[in-house]
Amino acid sequence: MKIFETICSELLKEASAISTVAENLDREQVEKAFALLSKCSGKVVVTGIGKAGIIARKISATLASTGTSSIFLHAAEGIHGDLGMLSDQDLVLAISHSGNTPEMLAIIPYIKFIGIPLVSLTGNPDSQLAQASDAVLCTAVDAELEPLGMVPTASTTVALALGDALAIALLKQKNFSLNDFARFHPGGAIGKKLLLKVKDLMHCDEELPRVKENTAMMDAILEMTSKKLGCTIVEDQEGLMQGIITDGDLRRQLQQKGTDLLKYLAQDCMTPHPLNTQKEELAVSALNLMEEHAITMLPVCDEQGKALGILHMHDLIRAGVV
């Protein structure tokens, strides 16, 4: 067996199975299923068993993370008490390739009893599950990938892809934004990039190194050293930022002025009108600005130009924004 060729061939078969289902979907059933899902005022309860149950759990997780309230119900556990998680505002999305799985069929009477919609993803549109459903999305495939045709492969891939497609269609209808997404992912890298603002990470108040324009360079260097940020803001008598002096500026000034550097004032050695940001900006936006201009520290100013803080690349790295 040629390993590489075999794996590529099987991938193409799965891709072909998805394409075939997409081409054969019944428009009326798709639009009916979507209408039921979008009108659901409670939870979308996704259910399945075995491999289909694993797919159902993933679809439920995708729905929940993209703005559609959803939980997973194990079909076998449903008839042993877990049906209690259903309310009369919910909708059930059932995943079953055969559509005749006993555990799945056993929960249908209760779904009908409380009168909530049932949408099914099944490879058998003539199955008992399909007949009981308010909308049926057919996920039939010509064959599974493995030679015996016993292990769900292409069929579960198709069901997963269709579930993802439904979730994204719902996301688009809800105008689900990046900020909405961040609210559901506060603990991960995505949340940090979309929730953390400059004000959450900047050095301010007593931690902010700052000197006046007429400050002697010796005192400016001492300010930089004491605050340990490798820079200092240079401001005028009204407190408006006029420039910045960084470690890099010191090295360049030493090359030009030598030991006479200490005879100069801060205004003579600063980089005037440096790039800056505002405290309400997203930290990731500040990161992008720093990377674009190859700088490691960024002053934070108010609308009048008064320095409020300094954001350092190290702070972004420690916070996991990078």
Is the fold of 3-176 the same as that of 195-319? no
Cβ contacts of 185 within 8 Å, gap of 6 or more: 65, 191, 194
Task: Count Cβ atoms below 10 Å from residue 35 Cβ, excluding itself.
Answer: 12
For residues 174-182, average pLDDT? 68
Terminal Cα-to-Cα distance of the chain (whole angstroms): 43
Give the CATH number of domain 195-319: 3.10.580.10
How far apart CA 287 and CA 277 sit, in angstroms, is 10
Distance CA 182, CA 190 (A): 7
Name 258's Cβ contacts closer than 8 Å, sequence gap at least 6: none
Per the rule left: phi > 0, alpha: psi between -120 and 50, beta: everything else, 308 is alpha
Answer yes or no: are the C-beta atoms of 106 and 46 closer than 8 Å. no
Residue 283: per-residue pLDDT: 87
pLDDT tens digits, 78-89: 988 899 999 999
CA distances from 89 to 41, 59, 170 (A): 6, 20, 18
How confident is the model at residue 282, as a pLDDT?
Answer: 87
Rounded distance, CA 155 to CA 122, Å?
A: 9
Q: Which helix (H) or strand (E) holds 299?
A: strand 297-301
Average pLDDT over residues 204-217: 94
Q: What are phi and psi of 220, to 5 degrees?
A: -65, -40
The distance of Cα 190 from the centroid of its chain, to the nearest Å, equals 5
Q: Does the CA dihedral 261-262-267-271 come out positive or negative?
A: positive
pLDDT digits (tens, 9 = 90+) for 5-62: 989 998 999 999 999 999 999 999 999 999 999 999 999 999 999 999 999 999 999 9
For residue 186, is pLDDT > 70?
no
- The whole-number average pLDDT for the span 212-235 is 94
Q: What is the pLDDT of residue 196?
A: 82
The pLDDT of residue 192 is: 64
Closest CA to 34 of 117, 115, 105: 117
Least Cα distance to 136 among 13, 28, 54, 242 occurs for 28
Alpha-carbon span 37 to 60, nearest angstrom: 13
Question: 31: which 2 tokens?
Answer: 């639009």
CATH code of the domain made up of 3-176: 3.40.50.10490
Q: Could you tell me the residue ranges of all domains in the chain?
A: 3-176, 195-319
Residue 165 CA from chain centroid, whole number = 17
- For residue range 242-300, list pLDDT tens digits in order: 999 999 989 998 898 888 888 899 999 999 999 999 999 988 889 899 999 999 999 99
Share of the chain above pLDDT 90, in %: 74
The Cα–Cα gap between 176 and 114 comes to: 30
